[in-house]
Amino acid sequence: LFSQVPLVEIDGIELTQTRAILSYLAAKYNLHGKDLKETFRIDMYADGTLDLMLMVALAVFKTPEEKEKSLALMVKKDKTQNFPIFEKILKEHGEDFLVGNKFSWADIQLLEAILMVEELDASVLSDFPLLKEFKTRINNIPTIKKFLHPGSHRKPPPDSHHVEYRF
Ligand SMILES: N[C@@H](CCC(=O)N[C@@H](CS)C(=O)NCC(=O)O)C(=O)O
């Protein structure tokens, strides 16, 4: 519709706009909360991680120096702001998942953010024991495990090839 990606073809329709796509998939696969307040917290946590992930996705459009700066800033922000928040959330409620002790799309989004940052700095979780356990737990959900196995559909971070293709 907007001549942009991402675009998902599913259920006989074409979905565009990142947040609308995620919202559709979350509703379809029961990854929202059990009530409005839980759903709000899930959306809030997921949006918080999405902002940082976009910094990685958009870094490819920058000059090499700007890209390096932007990625370093993202790793720093995750270590000092983002990951401490999620570590605290997990510590306070002591549950397996971020919201309502039930698997939601905020858990998927946080796992993806962790994996993205670990590709830049493998030791990024060293000060976050609960997030390390969280990562293992979510990784071990059979559908997630299958999705992440080597050679799977998970895409590598965008590189200069994506920019060449666009322009
Ligand atoms: N609001 C859109 C933004 C999508 C977007 O900016 N897509 C870029 C690639 S990252 C694009 O397709 N740009 C091509 C264009 O706008 O012509 C979303 O959240 O999905």
Q: pLDDT tens digit string along 62-114?
A: 888 888 888 888 889 889 999 999 999 999 999 999 999 999 999 999 999 99
Say yes or no: 22 and 37 in one domain: no
> How far away, in angstroms, is 23 Cα from ligand 1 center?
17
Which residue do the tokens 């071990």 mark?
A: 140
Q: Which residue has the higher pLDDT, 166 or 140?
A: 140
CA 121, 41, 47, 147 torsion-angle sign: positive
Bridge partners of 15? 8
Say yes or no: 39 and 92 in one domain: yes
* 121's tokens: 């700095």
What one-letter code names the amino acid at 12?
A: G
Give the mutation target among 1, 2, 4, 54 for probing the ligand 1 site: most ligand atoms within 8 A of CB.
4
> How far away, in angstroms, is 16 Cα from ligand 1 center?
9
Say yes or no: 65 and 107 in one domain: yes
Say yes or no: 26 and 86 in one domain: no
- Within 10 angstroms of residue 98's Cβ, the number of other Cβ atoms is 24
Rounded Cα gap, residues 167 and 153, in angstroms = 25
Say yes or no: 23 and 37 in one domain: no
Say yes or no: 49 and 125 in one domain: yes
Determine the pLDDT at residue 5. Answer: 87
Say yes or no: 44 and 26 in one domain: no
Say yes or no: 70 and 141 in one domain: yes
161: Cβ contacts below 8 Å, ≥ 6 apart? none
How many folded domains does the chain comprise? 2
Say yes or no: 98 and 16 in one domain: no
Residues 110 and 53: beta-carbon distance below 8 Å: no
CATH number, domain of 158, equals 1.20.1050.10
Say yes or no: 40 and 58 in one domain: yes
Ligand 1 atom 13: residue of nearest CA? 4
Say yes or no: 153 and 83 in one domain: yes
Tens-digit pLDDT profile for residues 8-38: 999 999 999 988 999 999 999 999 999 999 9
The length of the chain in residues reads 167
Ligand 1 atom 17: residue of nearest CA? 4
> How far away, in angstroms, is 97 Cα from ligand 1 center?
31
Rounded Cα gap, residues 58 and 125, in angstroms = 23
> How far away, in angstroms, is 95 Cα from ligand 1 center?
36
| Domain extent at residue 86 | 33-166
Reply yes or no on whether the pLDDT at 166 is more than 60: no
Say if ligand 1 is within 6 A of residue 123 CB.
no
Say if ligand 1 is within 6 A of residue 167 CB.
no
Residue 143 has phi, psi (to 5 degrees) of -70, -35
Say yes or no: 21 and 42 in one domain: no
